[in-house]
Structure 1
Amino acid sequence: MTAAGSPPTPAAAAPSTTPPTPPTVRGESEAIVFAVSAGGLGALYGLLIGLLTEDLPMSGDVSFGTLAAAGSGVIAALAAGWGYWRSRHAPGQEWRRALAPWAFTVNTISVVIAHTVLAVLATLVIYLVLSRGFIGLGVITFWSVVLMTVTLGLTAYLVSLSVSRMTTQRMSSLLMAFIVIGTLTAMVTTPDPVWWQIHFSHLGTFWALSSAVFNGTLVAGGLLVTTFAVYIAADMRALVARRKLAYERSPRIVSTLFVLMGFMLAGVGLVPVNVNEPIHNLSASGMALVYVGLLAAGPRILRGMPTFYFLSTWAFLASTVVTVVLFATGYFGLTALEIIVFALIFGWIAVFIRFLGVTGQTE
């Protein structure tokens, strides 16, 4: 066991050397208990809403959907916090107990925030879709109870399972889902239907729920990327210890750059373009530069990873360069540039994590 303030040893930091933990009876049982408990609370919550309101719309600023999203957020926060804290004793997660208390706390907070925001956004989207399918339908007391029971119970179940076996690959999937759902939600709820004619960051400039969703997604996504860096460092330390990665300093360098990328992403959301354009642009361009730096330095600091990873890296780098050239020549506008580079960054992260998980394996 290492000291509380020291980094985990390679032996302790071994999620990538441990096969994925299969579902356990305990994990599934706890998820069901959470779901039933949350469903019971949802029934009471739905009954209260039904008695105090009359035929709430499915979606809107004041609607059943927003109340359901608030309830889902609370349940997700409780389930994520409790489940993630307990899962540090699970096989393959022992390295988390060697983290400094502040690092473990930050990781827990970021996982809780990510699951909470994702639950809220998913609930908002679901009820937005339902409102389009049942136009003009108000939610009476009976359906308020039923829908809230299902919504909160399902939220508790899915979040409990998600945090019970958190790995680098699962964290990557969580990040991708979080960013995609948050961004799409902001797009479809923005008060300006022609936002795309200005720029991508324009989505975060309104005094509206859509801008809160957009900026909140970026801030929470940035925090999640910093937590992501801890998992990456642990995986890479294990690979260095097994001599599958040649450069011994690669875990520290790559994880530090991911933390910097996370701070930059959060900065884009914390400082919308209409609040302070220079700081906003500095954060956005800084994130892009870190991404390009990771691509360019890959052959040296990630030597030992599969050949196809490096081929993919050069493809991402070439795509980024082509995108910038097309923008500079006026082929498309700023919105397209921002969206494409944004997609390339997170696409590369997903590819990097998948290849990191199989580095050192036989063909």
Structure 2
Amino acid sequence: MEEKQFSITIPEKIVEEFDLENEEEVILSIKDQKIVIEPKKKVAGNQTLSLRWFLIPTTVISLLFLGYLIYTDKSQIALVGAYSIANFVLSFGVLSGVFSFLVFFVKGKRNQITTQSKDIYWRNFPTILLSFIVILVFSLLVFFKVIGLVFIGATFDRYTATLLFFVFVGLVNYFMIYSALSITPAKLTNLLIFVIIGGVLLAMITNKDYQWWQFNFSFLGTIEAKSSWQFNLTLMFSSLLMVALIDGLFVELQKAIPHSKRLTILRILLTLTALDLGAVGLFPYTETGPFQGVHNQVAGYLVYLIVALIVGIKWLLPNVTKEFLSISYMIAATLVVVVVLFQWTSYLSLTAFELLAFMLAFSWIVLLLQNLQKMAQNLNNSFLVKIKLNPKKQVVETKEDTSGK
């Protein structure tokens, strides 16, 4: 029995965006119960380019490291410590990674290589770069802290140290290059989650001996707290990330739904929420000085903005799903219960109240951002496919899907 042949008609928009040619081979695969079509030459090209370019800066930096050890006549170097492999990785390795990120992000924006960062705008680039630097440094600090506990007092000769340095810096460059090539609005949301949760947890851990929970959640940002800058910087940094993410999402949404007053109002409210979050960190709680009471005011505004968003989301967000509405109302109801248990019955302590309110509000914001991403993806990059059976072949006709579903 002769095998049936099928053909697919690809929209002109896709052909132009990926620079496809007639009779060109593409790769069709099934991933997570989805049919994925990828240009063959682009997939192979990306892997070769990444391997080549992450090895180049790694080799150069490693040779400079070896040259420095020879020049300073260092025969042994510690794994961790004041003068160690760890310190060199945290300085020269991070600089190498930042340079690699810059190069590949610029190449991607200029369409010199295939990248997913085309929807990332230049005005948001500084915040994104700083985000990845913070994550990289934080990860390296934790990694070398653990390594230092496992290999106490370990030292290596200059050549073994150079080999270890090469491996560590290679991983740094690969991470930064991969990030520059694959960054998307969805990954920015994951970045936001990592930054805010990681920063808050770090502030809690570093203040564990101060029993901060006996005061309130805001104590983590006060001058009495140990390393309060970590907590405040986390809030301000998360604010910048939210602004960058909101900006990119709404640019894409307004391409599909131009001149929408409801979307404009939603964008303004979300941006104000992000800026207010940053203000909570910028003005820590204090009972003296010129900014006395400012922290409580901006924290109160944050609550009002979240409530306004939850109540008005049905009218502000086009094609909002019933599932998301139900979750929104459940979170709103839970917030009301938390307020009642704290203010009217005194069942909850101030710390428990602030923690619960923060987690509920942040969870809802993340859900909203994910729904906005899905909507932007469906409106701009989804196509409704209609299959017609033909005696000779099966022809697939496509038309752009603007339903948002």
Of 294, 302, 305, 1:287 maps to: 302
Residue of structure 2 in register with 1:43 after alignment: 62
Corresponding position of 1:85? 106
Q: Which amino acid aligns with 2:285?
A: V
**Corresponding residue number in structure 1 for 2:319:** 304
Report the CA distance between 1:149 and its aligned residue: 3.2
Give the aligned partner of residue 354 of structure 1. Answer: 370
- Partner of 1:256 in structure 2? 268
% identical equivalent positions: 23
**Mapping for residues 186-201 of structure 1, pairs under 5 Å:** 186-190=203-207, 192-201=209-218
Residue 174 of structure 2 is aligned with which of 119, 142, 157? Answer: 157
Task: Give the structure with the larger helix fraction.
Answer: 1
Deviations 1:305-330 (A, max 9, x none): 22111111112212222222233232
Specify every segment of 5 or more residues in structure 2 that has no aligned partner in the other structure, as ranges: 1-12, 18-35, 379-402
The one-letter amino acid paired with 1:32 is: L
Describe the shift of the 1:362–1:157 C-alpha distance in structure 2 as closer, same or farther (beyond 3 A).
same
Per the TM alignment, residue 42 of structure 1 is displaced from its structure 2 partner at its CA by 5.5
Q: How big is the shift at 1:302?
A: 0.9
Name segments (4+ residues, structure 1) moved above 6 Å.
19-23, 61-64
Instruction: Write out aligned runs for 1:85-164 (5 A).
Output: 85-88=106-109, 89=111, 104-134=121-151, 136-138=152-154, 140=156, 145-164=162-181
Is 1:343 equivalent to 2:362 in the alignment?
Answer: no
Cα distance between partner residues in 2 of 1:20 and 1:163:
22
What is the distance in 2 between the residues matched to 1:191 and 1:53?
A: 37
Aligned partner of residue 272 in structure 1, secondary structure: coil
CA contact (8 A) 2:79 2:156 kept: yes
Q: Any idea what the Cα deviations from partners look like across 1:140-176, whole Å, max 9, x if unmatched?
A: 4567545543333222222322232332212111111
Any idea what the Cα deviations from partners look like across 1:94-152, whole Å, max 9, x if unmatched? Answer: 566xxxxxxx4430111111111111122222233334444x44454567545543333
For each residue in 1:257-278, what CA deviation from the matched residue of structure 2 results, as whole angstroms up to 9, or x when unmatched? 2222222222222333247442
CA-atom RMSD in angstroms? 3.8
Q: Is the 8 A contact 2:119 2:184 kept in 1?
A: no
Instruction: Output the CA distance in 2 between the equivalents of 1:37 and 1:323.
Output: 55
* Aligned residues between the structures: 332
- C-alpha distance in 1 between matches for 2:295 and 2:157: 46
Q: Contact (CA 8 Å) 1:218, 1:266: kept in 2 or not?
A: yes
Report the CA distance shift for 1:20/1:212 in structure 2 as closer, same or farther (over 3 A). Answer: farther
| Mapped contact 2:79–2:148 kept (Cα < 8 A) | no
Residues in 2 aligned to 1:65 and 1:279: alpha-carbon distance in whole angstroms: 41
CA contact (8 A) 1:195 1:202 kept: yes
How has the CA–CA distance of structure 1 residues 65 and 168 changed in structure 2, closer, same or farther, with 3 Å as cutoff?
A: same
> For residues 210 and 53 of structure 1, what CA distance do their matches in structure 2 show?
34
Does the C-alpha gap of structure 1 residues 353 and 262 become closer, same or farther in structure 2, counting only changes over 3 Å?
A: closer
Is 2:192–2:241's contact at 8 Å kept on the other side of the alignment? yes
Instruction: Provide the TM-score with structure 2 as the length reference.
Output: 0.68
CA contact (8 A) 1:41 1:149 kept: no
Equivalent of 1:32, from 23, 38, 51?
A: 51
Distance change (3 Å), C-alpha of 1:46 and 1:180: farther
User: 170, 179, 185: which is aligned to 2:187?
Assistant: 170
Q: Structure 1: which amino acid aligns with 2:353?
A: L
Name which structure has the greater RCO, CA cutoff 8 Å, separation 6+: 1
Q: Tell me the CA shift for residue 208 of structure 1.
A: 8.9
Greater share of residues in strand: 2
SS of 1:152 mapped into structure 2: helix
In structure 1, what is the equivalent of residue 4 of structure 2?
A: none
Task: Pick closer, same or farther for the CA change 1:57–1:154 going to 2, 3 Å.
Answer: closer
Q: Does the 8 Å CA contact 1:31/1:160 hold for their aligned counterparts?
A: yes
Q: Which residue does the alignment assign to 1:5?
A: none
- Find out whether 1:214 has 2:214 as its counterpart: no
- Contact 2:276/2:299 (CA < 8 Å) preserved in 1? yes
Indicate the SS of the match to 1:159: helix
Cα pair 2:219 2:285 within 8 Å, conserved: yes
Tell me if structure 1 keeps the 8 A contact 2:115–2:181: no
Whole-Å separation in 1 of the counterparts to 2:65 and 2:300: 45
- The change in CA–CA distance for 1:92 and 1:249 in structure 2 (over 3 A counts) is farther
User: 1-side partners of 2:371 and 2:180: how far apart?
Assistant: 22
1:331 counterpart residue number: 347
Structure 2 Cα separation of the partners of residues 146 and 213 of structure 1? 34
